[in-house]
């Protein structure tokens, strides 16, 4: 499989393979890696895949993207990753062997694709557990080490730290927005005392943290000297691993491969829905990809208007779905690459404007007309919508959902009437309610269920370094701790 950069000048290595870009993260030209072409899935493959376990399906799909790891080794990594023991937080009544069970709210019509049964109770575990095992495998083979620099708005951080703790050759430096995450999210990350885990809280928002990650990665000398890697969805491996559950959800929601399905995806950095877009490009029968934002509605604005207008930190709201408090969706670049006909010059020129703090407007370009080919729809949700949706879903379907999934459901309820009656709509459950207990209490006046292995984590001692969002300060911290 050949990989290219969305900005056209991938640099070194000249023909990167999967393992190179796994360790490399951001492409050297500041763009994002993508396969040169999306592998196509045949009808015969779809038929054969319908009955596979999650681990078997992951192996079948990832084999199309990972051609530089021997098949037996990749299979062993998938088998080791996708176990009922790791994805152990399934709800009562679910079959834990499903890994990503579908919970129907309205049988055959509206369901939740449960992606949050992993160790940290968010969908990030689906890809991050695989990344932990892939990093360990590749680093061992090459005799190398890596210093992962990441940014989180609440869930990527803990998923990465849980996946990497205890792994040889890996250190994690995770930037989080100081004081903006839920108490549970803070405790999940900051209570870890492992020597290879470093938490840095920056006095800004997620976008400031993500900008620092990109700035450090774009300092090629520093990146090479300190072996800086990425675990955010700028890393292609994250997106590749997320493609798998769109297929699994499709098979669970349909009876045969003539049917179509729609997905509604709570979105922030555009990594999750980007995987859905790629699954559709590969040939998965997806009728619609519905993007849901919270009050930070940059992406909803784009799909409604054709204008992409990232906002500054001061214009980004702190909301009760904090993991989606993102106004500069880094992964969106991968979708725009496809939208503009996979033309890297156009992407480079659009992101020159974005990186300079500007916006772009596609309305008067032919690309805007092509938006319909990609079957996107979108909507937004507010705190009041979130509370109302949590109450409605609890009352009507006896199901408690977290604040981000509630944003998805709010938009899903709006879009459902416009979908053909034989197209099931799956809303991606991106976290479990206990991570956002403050808002659950406000909505339902009760405590969300808490898995026994995470009891009392808020009372554990915490270890975190607070600093200004300053690239040089972060670099100095890394230098001092490697
Ligand atoms: C719980 C939750 N929901 C939704 C999102 C948005 O996903 P994405 O950033 O891939 O669009 C995130 C963060 O990424 C999240 O942590
Ligand atoms: N919502 C994320 C933000 C980072 O997204 P990623 O998918 O690019 O890692 C978080 O919870 O940290």
Domain architecture of the chain: domains with CATH: 99-121+238-444 (3.40.50.1100)
Q: How much is the mean pLDDT over the chain? A: 96
Mean pLDDT of 186-205: 97
Distance between Cα 144 and ligand 1 center (Å): 31
DSSP states along 363-431: TTSHHHHHGGGGTEEEEE--HHHHHHHHHHHHHHHS----HHHHHHHHHHHHHGGGS-TT--EEEEE-B
347-355 long-range contacts, Cβ below 8 Å, gap at least 24? 347/6, 347/7, 347/8, 347/31, 348/7, 348/8, 348/29, 348/31, 350/308, 351/7, 351/30, 351/31, 354/308, 354/310, 354/328, 355/30
Best of 188, 214, 271, 407 to mutate for ligand 2, by most ligand atoms within 8 A of CB? 271
- Encode pLDDT of 407-452 as tens digits: 999 999 999 999 999 999 999 999 999 999 999 999 999 999 999 9
Does an H or E element contain 61, and which?
helix 54-65
d(CA 417, CA 430): 23
> Do the bridges between strand 197-202 and strand 360-361 make them parallel or antiparallel, or are there none, so unpaired?
unpaired
- Encode pLDDT of 372-411 as tens digits: 999 999 999 999 999 999 999 999 999 999 999 999 999 9
- Encode pLDDT of 273-328 as tens digits: 999 999 999 999 999 999 999 999 999 999 999 999 999 999 999 999 999 999 99
Sign for the pseudo-dihedral over CA of 188, 162, 248, 263 = positive
Mean pLDDT of 213-240: 97
Nearest to 438 by CA among 18, 230, 154: 154
For residues 384 and 295, the answer to whether their CB atoms sit within 8 Å is no
Q: Whose CA is nearest to atom 7 of ligand 2?
A: 233
Q: pLDDT confidence of 12, banded at 50, 70, 90?
A: confident
Confidence check: pLDDT of 13 > 90? no
| 124 assigned to active site | yes
Q: How many CA atoms lie within 13 A of 65 on its CB side?
A: 27
Distance between Cα 232 and ligand 2 center (Å): 6
Closest atom of ligand 1 to 274 CA is 10
DSSP states along 197-228: EEEEEESS-HHHHHHHHHHHHH-HHHHHHTTE
Distance between Cα 154 and ligand 1 center (Å): 9
Best of 32, 118, 121, 122 to mutate for ligand 1, by most ligand atoms within 8 A of CB? 122
Gyration radius (Cα) of the chain, Å:
21
Q: Is the pTM of this model over 0.95?
A: yes
Mean pLDDT of 138-149: 96
Q: Does 430 sit in the ligand 2 pocket, CB within 6 Å?
A: no
């Amino acid at each position: 499989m050949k990989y290219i950069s969305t900005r056209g000048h991938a640099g070194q290595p000249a023909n990167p393979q999967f393992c190179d870009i796994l360790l490399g993260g951001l492409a050297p030209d500041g763009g994002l890696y993508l396969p040169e072409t999306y592998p196509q899935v045949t009808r015969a493959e779809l038929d054969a895949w319908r009955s596979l376990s999650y681990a078997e399906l992951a192996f079948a799909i990832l084999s199309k993207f990972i051609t530089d790891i021997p098949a037996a080794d990749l299979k062993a990594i998938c088998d080791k990753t996708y176990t009922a023991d790791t994805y152990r937080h399934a709800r009562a009544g679910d079959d834990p062997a499903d890994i990503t069970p579908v919970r129907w709210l309205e049988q055959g019509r509206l369901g939740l694709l449960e992606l949050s049964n992993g160790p940290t109770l968010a969908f990030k575990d689906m890809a991050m557990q695989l990344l932990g095992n892939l990093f360990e495998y590749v680093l061992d083979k090459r005799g190398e080490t890596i210093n992962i620099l990441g940014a989180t708005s609440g869930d990527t951080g803990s998923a990465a730290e849980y996946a990497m703790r205890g792994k040889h050759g890996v250190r994690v430096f995770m930037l989080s927005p100081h004081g903006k995450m839920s108490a549970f999210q803070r405790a999940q990350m900051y209570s870890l005392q492992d020597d290879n885990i470093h938490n840095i809280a920056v006095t800004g928002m997620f976008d400031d943290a993500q900008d620092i990650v990109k700035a450090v990665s774009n300092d090629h000398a520093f990146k090479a000297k300190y072996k800086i890697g990425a675990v955010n969805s700028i890393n292609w491996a994250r997106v590749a691993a997320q493609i798998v559950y769109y297929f699994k959800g499709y098979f669970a929601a349909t009876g045969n491969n003539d049917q179509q399905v729609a997905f509604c995806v709570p979105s922030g950095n555009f990594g999750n829905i980007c995987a859905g877009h790629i699954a559709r490009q590969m040939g998965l029968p997806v009728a619609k990809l519905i993007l849901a934002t919270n009050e930070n509605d940059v992406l909803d604005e784009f799909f409604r208007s054709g204008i992409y207008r990232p906002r500054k930190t001061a214009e980004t709201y702190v909301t009760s779905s904090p993991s989606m408090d993102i106004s500069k969706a880094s992964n969106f670049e991968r979708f725009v690459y496809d939208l503009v006909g996979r033309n890297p010059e156009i992407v480079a020129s659009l992101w020159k404007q974005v990186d300079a703090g500007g916006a772009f407007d596609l309305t008067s370009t032919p690309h805007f007309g092509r938006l319909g080919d990609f079957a996107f729809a979108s909507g937004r949700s507010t705190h009041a919508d979130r509370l109302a949706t949590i109450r409605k879903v609890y009352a009507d379907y006896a199901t408690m959902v977290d604040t981000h999934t509630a944003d998805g459901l709010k938009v899903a309820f709006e879009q459902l009437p416009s979908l053909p009656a034989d197209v099931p709509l799956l809303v991606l459950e991106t976290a479990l309610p206990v991570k956002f207990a403050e808002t659950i209490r406000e909505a339902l006046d009760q405590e969300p269920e808490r898995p026994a292995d995470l009891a009392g984590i808020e009372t554990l001692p915490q270890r975190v370094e607070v600093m200004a969002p300053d690239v040089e300060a972060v670099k100095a911290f890394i230098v001092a701790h490697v």
